[in-house]
Structure formats: structure tokens, C-alpha cells
Amino acid sequence: MRFLTKLCAGVTAFAAAVSVATVALAVDISGAGATFPFPIYAKWASAYKGASGNGLNYQSIGSGGGIKQIQSKTVTFGASDMPLSTPELNRYGLLQFPTVIGGVVPVVNLRGVAPGALVLDGPTLANIYLGKISKWNDPAIKKLNPSVNLPDQVITTVHRSDGSGTTFIFTNYLSKVSKEWNDRVRFATAVDWPAGIGAKGNEGVAGNVAQTAGSVGFVEYAYAKQNNLAYTKMVNKDGKTVSPVAAAFAASAAGASWDVANGFGTLLTEQPGANSWPIAGATFVLVYKQPQDQAATKEALKFFQWAYDKGDQMADGLDYVPFPAEVKQKIVASWAQVQGWNGGK
Amino acid sequence: MVDIALRHDASASPATARLRRYRAQDRMFFRLTLACALLVLAVFAGVITSLTVGAWPAIKAFGLPFLWTEAWNPVTEKFGALAPIYGTVVTSLIAMFFAVPIGIGIAIFLTELCPRPLRRPIGIAVELLAGIPSIIYGIWGLFIMVPFLQQIVMPGLIYAFSGIPVLRDLFAGPPYGIGIFTAGLILAVMTLPFISAITRDVFETVPPVLKEAAYGLGATTWEVQWNVVLPYARTGVVGGVMLALGRALGETMAVTFVIGNAHRISESLLAPGTTISASIANEFTEALGDLYAPALIELGLILFFVTVIVLAAARLMLYRLERRAGGRT
């Protein structure tokens, strides 16, 4: 019995020592959500660990999962590619802010068509995904590509079978450019696709497009670039034909108004501007305005502050587009609403 | 009882003490195995309960029509299970259509006709097929089988059946390469080893004297297999097919890769579709809204019942077969 008491005391002392040590040495910031920004968050986290000693434990379980986890308060911050609406944010007392911008690009598998050789516009893309344009030599596609040799081949559309921010951005774009799409399908992280085949994840869509002759799909820009897929050019709102490059994604963010009131929930699809890529979107982070653990939330915000300061080059390297400096200032200023932030001091 | 035990204790004869120990061991063993058996029942009940609880919002919202509604619209939150149920059943049927005859063929060859030195290598190769993880089948299916089917097999099928009324609709174009038929073929490959390995084992239990007698009467190899070996081993064969069917109904990863994941029912077997397990695997992580996740959990509940019904039907068939065979002798 005496041995047992001693053991208990020993264990308690040890546990106390360990917990004191962790508090003193380093904090692990916990977050969960969108898969799309995971590569850049991971890269930022490893650099931040070197700079501050604090680590980040980010589970890329998907935007839906991220929203659920922050609502059940199991993580310090949630991440979502789909911005929550102002009423939703208010209902849960959440603060929302964007971190980086990405672009979605259509990719095709057509014999003899190189990356960037094919041009599409919004209504045509919507009609292809509605199943109304079913052959590659359709007059609508021919009109946009007079110099491309288009085969008499059936178009197979490929879409995401899992819910995703990519789908949200893409369907939001189609809803803006096609009334019929907006009436029949609308936009969300998962929709009732009128036609085509579904594949899981960006890699699944890329794989299916690569395997299926005559197919068209949509993936995150980084995927198209890294896998050397035959992306298409798009006709934007100003009627200009643009290529999917980082500058074009940044251009679509430049014209947008970023408003604290709606949690910076601006959708970047079909933005005006001669250089704007029409299918772009930001990815968002969610924290509580009145967090249960103020210190943890403060550490999370400090991480993002550091990322806004020092992380632009890392984002560029991974084909994400960082925000302009004035938007970043607005974002950091909005953190004043978070209890315990105190400007990060 | 206690009294007797005490008295025996008092006498302390070494033989009775040992006997008592054995009895206690037996009791322990009985309780241990009982606990194992009860654990299965508890898990079974727990799974049903938690699935029902999780699916309750969807059950309440959609009711029974969930079973025969084809719509699956996350935007308007209108969900129905018909397309995934159809896909699950049809892909499994296609798999059995190919795997049962081929599996039994392999078993007959291995037990009766195969030259001895080849017997072990072929047997081991078939069993190795069962050990390949399903994701490997999925990747292989998508990257190797799909282009082959799309460019060669499917156009051939569409052309060959274009004049035949019902088959014309079942094998209508365009050839995506991906779809219900492809998923069925992958499942056939995956379930083949179960059928052939079990069938071979039961064929080996057929007493040689029965076969020798049949050969002695002048029966051909075909007649011996069909009239002697198969009827003798039918219980085991049906058991193997049931096991294979169970795997086909629940298989997720490989199917997801090649079925096309479209919530539609098409006349053509070559068109994309979805299965219950593929839908759940695809959509669960990002199921937002009040009814989306419950609808997926209800799909899981349905799969549970589909499997139970199919296995019960197989048992019933087996029972009928046995009774008929029993009546004949």
C-alpha cells in the first residue's frame, strides 16, 4: 500500500513536471480543415517551428470537417475553402479571415492539344458540364478555337466525387456565367452533377482525365502545373482570353472588395479586370471571438501573423497567391475582435 | 454443492483436487468462449443502434421513399438511396457472373486435371490474389484496365450487341472505360480467389472412391465433375460464393476508383454509377448540412441490411438444395 501511494505521488509529480515543461517550452497549435491549403500550412509550420519553437498540428480532413471541428471546439482554428455567411459566423461567434488565393483550371485530354492550346468561355464550359454540348467538334467550341483541329469525339466530364472547396469555386463560377446552371444545379462543395464521372480528390480528377480520352476536368492550379496537364485558357468577364498564372489569380483578388463585416467572404469568381482569371478563390481560417483557451487562439493568430509577414515567398513556391499588403493589414486589424489577442503582445 | 466441495477439500485426496481443478478450467473455458460469442452479438447490436441513431434525422425526413428515390442533391438536401443500392447489387451480380464459373473452373483444374508440378504454383498464385490490398486493385484498374476497356473491349461490346434488342441497351455507348461494368470486372478479379480457394478445398474432400466408381462406370471427366464432385461439394461451393459475395457488396476502395461515382441509374452497364460504400467513402468527410451526413449513415444501414438479406437468401437456397438432395437419396 505504501508503495502504491509512493508510486501515485511519483506519477503525479512527473506529470506535473512534464506539463510545466511543455507550457514553458513550446505550444502546439491545433487546427483542422481544408485540404487545399495543407501544403502551404505545412511548409509555413515547419519554418515557424524553427523561428519560434511552436509547432502546428494541422489535420487536413476537408472543409466540412474543419467547420464541424471548430464548432465542437476540438481545435483552436478551423479551415475552410468555402466562406461561411455572416449569419452563420454570428451564430457561432466565429471570426473568419482568408490566408491565400488559389485558382481552379479546366484540364482536357485531347489528342494533339497541348497545354494552353484550347480556349473556353463560361457559358460553353457550363453547357459542357450540363451535358448540352456533348461533342468536341460542337460549333460553340469551334467558334472559340478556329485554329484547333477538334475531333468528332464524345466529351466525358470529370468532377469531384467528394465535397471540396475546388468544387465550390468551380460551381460558383458556372452559376455566375450560366442561368441554367444556377437554376438546375447551383453551387456548393458538393452538387448534383447532371452528367459525367466523379473522382476523389484533385489527384483522382487528374488521373481520370489522363486516363480517359476526350475528357475534361477541373483541378487546383498547382495540380495542373505539377502534372503537366493540358489546361485551357478562359475568356474572362472583360472578354479577354487569359492563361492560368499566379498573376491572373492575383488580378482577380485586386479588384475585389475585402470587407471585415462579412468575414472577408468575397468570392473571387468572374471578377472584372482585363487580366483576371475567372475561376479563383481564397481559403479561409475560422477562430472564436471569445475562445475558451485564449492563449491557444493567440498563438494560432501569431502563427498566421508570422505567415503574412514572412510566408509570401513560400506561398509563391507552391503556386499559391499571397494577399496584397493592404488586405493583410485589414485582416490583422480585424483580430482586435478576438478576446485576448491584444495585438499579439 | 458447496458442502460436498468442502468435504472433498477436507479429505484432500490429490485425485479429486485435480478433478476439481479440471472442472474449474472447463467452466472458465466455457465462460471465455461464451464471452467471445456474446461480444459478436454486442458489436452487432451496437453497430445497428449507432447507425440508426446517426441516420435518424434522414430517416425522419425522407421516410421509406428514401429507398426508391434516385435523386441525390446536396444543394437542396434531397437524398435517395436507389442509385447506390442499384450499383451495389448490379456490380456484385456482374462479379459473380464472371467469378463463379471461372473460380470453379480453376478449382476443377487444380484438383483433377492439373499436372502435379504445376499444382502448387497455380494454387499459391490464386491465393496471393486474395492478399493484394484493394487499393492496388483500384490503381491497377484505373491505369491499366480502364484504357484497355475504353479503347478495345467496350467499343467491341457496343458493336457486337448493337443489333440485339435487350443487350443493345445494356451495352450502349459512349465507352467511358469507367462504369458499373468495369467495377463488376474488378470485383470479379478480387473475389475469384475466395471462390477458387474454398471450392478447391472442398473438392479435395470428395472421397476418391466416389470418383473412381463413376470413372469405372465409364463416365467422362465432365460427367464426374458435374454429377459427382459438384453435388457432393455444393455446400462448400455455395459457402465460398457467399463469402465472395459479401466481399463484393462491401468493397469500397477499388470500386471507387473505377465506377465513376455518379448518382445515376443508367440503362447501360457501361455508364458510370455508384455503390453504397463508394458514396460513403467519397462524401463523408465533406458532408455539410443537417441531412447530408445522416443520409450517408442511412446508406450504411441499408448496406447492412442488403448484406443480411443476401446472406439469408443464400442460406435459404442452400437449405432448399440440401432438402431436395436429401429427398432424392
- DSSP secondary structure of A17-66: HHHHHHHHH--EEEEEE-STTHHHHHHHHHHHHHHHS-EEEEE---HHHH
Tell me what the pLDDT averaged over chain A comes to: 87
Q: How far lies A291's CA from each of A72, A82, A108, A306, in Å? A: 12, 22, 46, 20
Q: Domain end: A219, A238, A254, which one?
A: A254
How many domains, in total, are found in chain A?
Answer: 2
Distance CA A275, CA A233 (A): 12
Q: Tell me if B283 and A191 make a contact (CB, 8 A cut-off).
A: no
Quote the CA–CA distance of B38 and B27 in Å, as a whole number: 16
Flag whether the ipTM exceeds 0.90.
no
- One domain, residues A161 and A225: yes
* Model confidence at A6: pLDDT above 70: no
pLDDT of residue A335: 93
Contacts of A215 (CB under 8 A, 6+ apart): A108, A109, A155, A156, A157, A158, A208, A209
A144 touches chain B (CB under 8 A): no
Best of B139, B265, B285, B292 to disrupt the A interface by mutation (most A CBs within 10 Å)? B285
Q: What's the pTM?
A: 0.83
Average pLDDT score over residue span A307-319: 90
Which stretch of A15-19, A296-300, B68-72 has the lowest confidence by average pLDDT?
A15-19
- Average pLDDT of the segment spanning A10-38: 64
Q: Is residue A22 part of a domain?
A: no
- A129 & A236 share domain: yes
Identify whether residues A64 and A131 lie together within a single domain: no
> Hey, how many other C-beta atoms are within 10 angstroms of the C-beta on B61?
16
Does A33 score more than 70 pLDDT?
yes
Q: Tell me: do A209 and A232 sit in the same domain.
A: yes
Chain A residue numbers touching B178 (CB-CB < 8 A): 197, 208, 212
Whether residue A169 contacts residue A281, with contact meaning beta carbons closer than 8 Å, is answered with: yes
**Fold entry, domain B65-328:** MetI-like fold (1.10.3720)
Q: For residue range A42-72, what is the model confidence (pLDDT) as tens digits?
A: 999 999 999 988 999 998 887 878 888 899 8
Cβ-defined contact of A211 to B142 (cutoff 8 Å): yes
CATH code, domain with A37: 3.40.190.10
Pull the grid cell for residue A179.
442561368
For residue A82, the distance in angstroms to the closest alpha carbon of chain B comes to: 11
B255 touches chain A (CB under 8 A): no
Q: A199 and A239 in one domain?
A: yes
Backbone torsions φ then ψ of A281, nearest 5 degrees = -165, 155
Same domain, A231 and A245: yes
pLDDT of residue A164: 84
Per-residue pLDDT of B130-165, as tens digits, reads 889 989 999 999 989 998 998 899 999 999 998 888
The answer as to whether A146 is a domain residue is yes
Q: Which residue of A has its CA nearest to B292?
A: A190
For residues B126 and B120, give the distance between their C-alpha atoms in angstroms, rounded to a whole number.
10
Please tell me the predicted confidence (pLDDT) of residue B13: 76
Note the pLDDT of residue B184.
96
Residue B115, preceding peptide bond in cis (omega within 30° of 0): no
Domain ranges (residues) in chain B? 1-62, 65-328
Nearest chain B residue to A63 by CA distance is: B286
pLDDT-derived band at A22 (thresholds 50, 70, 90) equals very low
Angle value at C-alpha A239, between A233 and A245, nearest 5 degrees? 35
pLDDT at site B15: 84
Please give the backbone phi and psi of residue A61, each rounded to the nearest 5 degrees, phi first: -100, 5
- CB of B148 less than 8 A from some CB of A: no
CB contact under 8 A, A161 and B143: no
In a domain, A13, yes or no: no
Decide if A231 is inside a domain. yes
Arithmetic mean of pLDDT over chain B: 89
Instruction: Indicate if the alpha-carbon torsion angle B268, B270, B272, B276 is positive or negative.
Output: positive
Q: Is residue A264 part of a domain?
A: no
DSSP string spanning B44-58?
Answer: HHHHHHHHHHHHHHH
How many A/B residue pairs have CB atoms within 8 Å? 98
In whole angstroms, what is the distance from residue B263 CA to residue B324 CA?
A: 42
Q: Does residue B285 belong to the interface with chain A, where contact is any CB pair within 8 Å?
A: yes
Residues A145 and A192 occupy one common structural domain:
yes
pLDDT at position A23 is: 44
- DSSP letters for B187-241: HHHHHHHHHHHHHHHHHHTS-HHHHHHHHHTT--HHHHIIIIIHHHHHHHHHHHH
Same domain, A227 and A323: no
* B203-221 mean pLDDT: 92
Find, in chain A, the residue whose alpha carbon is nearest to that of B284: A162
- Structural domain containing residue A168: 104-254
Tell whether A206 is covered by a domain.
Answer: yes
Do residues A97 and A108 both lie within one domain?
A: no
> Given CB atoms, is A189 within the 8 Å cutoff of chain B?
yes
In Å, how far are A323, B168, B252 from A236, measured between CA atoms? 21, 43, 40
Minimum mean pLDDT among A33-42, B26-35, B77-86: which range?
Answer: A33-42
Find cell 489546361 and name the residue.
A231
Instruction: Report strand pairing: A241-242 vs A233-235.
Output: antiparallel
pLDDT of A25 reads 53
Residue with cell 485551357: A232
What CA–CA distance (Å, rounded) separates B91 from B88? 6
Residue B215 has a pLDDT of 92
- Which residue of A153, A160, A161 is the best one to mutate when testing the B interface, meaning the one whose CB has the most B CBs within 10 A? A161
**3-state class of A157 per DSSP?**
strand
Q: Please say if the pLDDT value at position B327 is more than 90.
A: no
Residue A211 lies inside a defined structural domain of this protein? yes
DSSP assigned state of A256: S
Interchain contact B296–A (C-beta under 8 A): no
Average pLDDT over residues A284-302: 93
Residues A117 and A154 in one domain: yes
Reported as a pLDDT band with limits 50, 70 and 90, residue B90 is: very high
Residue A137: inside a domain? yes
- Smallest Cβ–Cβ distance between A199 and the set B74, B173, B261 belongs to B261
Chain B interface includes A196 (CB < 8 A): yes
Least confident of A122-136, B7-21, B60-74, B76-90: B7-21
**Residue A1, pLDDT above cutoff 50:** no
CA distance B147 to A214: 12
pLDDT at A18 over 70: no
| Residue A194 and residue A323 in one domain | no
Across residues A267-287, what is the average pLDDT? 92
Indicate the residue of A154, A187, A197 with minimum beta-carbon distance to B178: A197
Distance to chain B for A146, nearest Cα, Å: 26
Nearest CB partner across the interface for A162, out of B151, B178, B283:
B283
Chain A residues touching B177 at Cβ < 8 A: 211-212
CA distance B43 to chain A (A): 27
Task: Inspect the interface and report whether the beta carbons of B173 and A154 lie closer than 8 Å.
Answer: yes
Q: Is B270 on the interface with A (CB under 8 A)?
A: no
What pLDDT band is residue B181 in, cutting at 50, 70 and 90?
Answer: very high
